[in-house]
Amino acid sequence: MRISVVIPAHNAENSIAQCLTALENQTYHHFLHEVIVVDNNCTDRTAEITQTFDNVTLIQESTPGAGAARNAGISHASGDIICFTDADCAPVASWLEEVCRPLENNPEIVATKGTYLTEQSEITARFVQIEYEDKYDLLLPQTYINFIDTYSAAYRRDILVANDGGFDERFTYLEDQELSFRLAARGYKMAFQPAAKVFHLHSNTLRKYFRKKYLIAYWKAQVVRRFPQRGVKDSHTPQVMKIQMGLIMLFWASLIALPLLPVLRAMMPQLPWGWLSIFTPLFLLSFIATTVPFIRKAWPKDRLVAIASPFLLIVRATALSIGYIWGVLNPKQLDTEKLPTIGGIHYLLKRSIDVFGATIGLFFTILLSPFIAIAIKSESRGPIIFTQRRIGQEGEPFTIYKFRSMYEDAEKRLDQLIDIEKLEEPAFKIKGDPRITKVGAWLRRWSLDELPQFWNVFKGDMSLVGPRPEEARIVELYEDHHRRRLMVKPGMSGPMQINGRGDLPFHERIRYELNYIENYTILSDLQIIWKTIPAIIKGRGAH
């Protein structure tokens, strides 16, 4: 195993020597194939200092941004594993060994994330360290994570190359979050490795801290446009932060409104404007109440930071709120996406249509269920509802529901009848299949067996329209480019179902499904739903 370390650097003359010295002292040095420093438009002595170190390659990258610098490092790297740290970080001696350990022990893991340490004495920097430790506590119980930042990270090189070449250079900030969300959306597994530690120079003044949080929030708004579900939750961000952002904006809004009370009373004296003056302290007290868990966590570590935490958390919430709001109101022009995903307003509209359609579908399912249940039981023993594990969005397994259309011992017959070693085999379906009952054939003929899947749609496991929900044994055979179809929810209907149902070879299904994702519009969903109706009537419905 060969390891490459890539370090993007912009005007890092005060820290690059300490970073490179720390890499020279790694316990895993015999596996360290190369260290690559990427000069990203430095105007100081960064390049000069770097060249004093043996076995360090210095390359130039003029495109601004850490994403472009890291991509340049990837293109020059020859290691099997590419590790990233920053020029203002000094990895501990065991860092390389620890950050690579999960990749060595588990071939399913494609990337790892480590942790920060600091030796700074400023109270703001000490607060930042405890802030990170609070997030690490959230990561610790998770087997796999969807959030990796590159101050301490390792990736399998072939995964980076196979997935759009690495970082999206249009993201000049949070490009590492965008990459990790993209890999997670394709079902790749990533892990937190707290022992992979690097010392870092945190923001040590309120001005620097406020600016950094503002930038993070602005670019987080751009990332969320692409991955809306990450705006709801990711593995790294405490949910209380979102509550605090809402409360602090309400506090500032009510505070600004207080001087307007006389004007409002004069304009509309019939309304009880006096209540408005109560909201300001109420919002502030509610915010302070949300800081208690953080204070309790900080107290045994640093009592001065614990005491200052409410004020510093107000600063954080204010900066994040302003940055995120501005990111929404003044977004970067990233609408022409090269990556298959359904984001922004399309995501919200699609989910709204799913909930509406699933509600109607469940109504008819409940009406028809007694008659279908009697028909199923009249012919064969076994449960009325057939359940099976399928793979959904981001490679997450879920239970799919159908009316049973097979004999009870169908799984044994399936093993005897079907060989799935080659994905090019047609859709794993056999005409005259002896597993299927007469009632089941009738249910399948009109796609009535799939009615219970409206519950999957309502829960959010599936969508009305999307790629076919695959079995785990099929997904295990995916190549990297196949995984792009995992970036959206599987559908009850989809491009495969209206273009040949289950008779399409695998590579043809993939072509239809990726084309659907990459060129997605709400109109395309509506068109597929419309075309599904005659397909069902003709007996070519979704399966």
- The pLDDT tens digits for 153-187 are 999 999 999 998 899 999 999 999 999 999 999 99
Tokens of 47: 């390049």
Residue 188 contacts residue 110 (beta carbons within 8 Å)? yes
Residue 342 contacts residue 520 (beta carbons within 8 Å)? yes
Torsion sign (Cα): 250, 256, 262, 268: negative
Residue 82's closest CA among 65, 98, 70? 70
Residue ranges covered by each domain of the chain: 3-203, 205-337, 344-537
Going through 346-487 in order, the beta strands assigned E by DSSP cover 385-391, 397-403, 463-465, 470-471
Entry field: residues in the chain: 543
- CA torsion, points 251, 254, 256, 262, in degrees to nearest 10? -160
Q: Say how far apart CA 473 and CA 483 lie, in whole Å.
A: 14
Record: fold of 3-203: Spore Coat Polysaccharide Biosynthesis Protein SpsA; Chain A (3.90.550)
Residue 463's closest CA among 321, 355, 317? 355
Q: Say how far apart CA 246 and CA 256 lie, in whole Å.
A: 16
Residue 448's closest CA among 401, 403, 386, 486? 403
Residue 100 contacts residue 33 (beta carbons within 8 Å)? no
Residue 139 contacts residue 235 (beta carbons within 8 Å)? yes
| 145: three-class secondary structure by DSSP | strand
Residue 237's closest CA among 207, 213, 208, 211? 213
Residue 81 contacts residue 135 (beta carbons within 8 Å)? no
State how far the alpha carbon of 290 is from the alpha carbons of 211, 245, 293, 302, in Å. 23, 11, 7, 19
Q: Where are the alpha helices (DSSP H) in 227-273?
A: 229-232, 240-257, 261-267
Tokens of 426: 């047609």
pLDDT of residue 420: 43
Overall pTM surpassing 0.85 (yes/no): yes
Which phi and psi angles does 36 have, rounded to 5°?
-120, 120
pLDDT of residue 501: 55
Which residues of the chain fall below pLDDT 70? 273, 334-340, 408-434, 500-504, 537-543
pLDDT of residue 442: 87
Which phi and psi angles does 227 have, rounded to 5°?
-125, 75
Neighbours of 286 (CB within 10 A): 16
DSSP code for 201? -
Neighbours of 128 (CB within 10 A): 25
**Apex 22 CA angle, 17 and 25, nearest 5:** 130
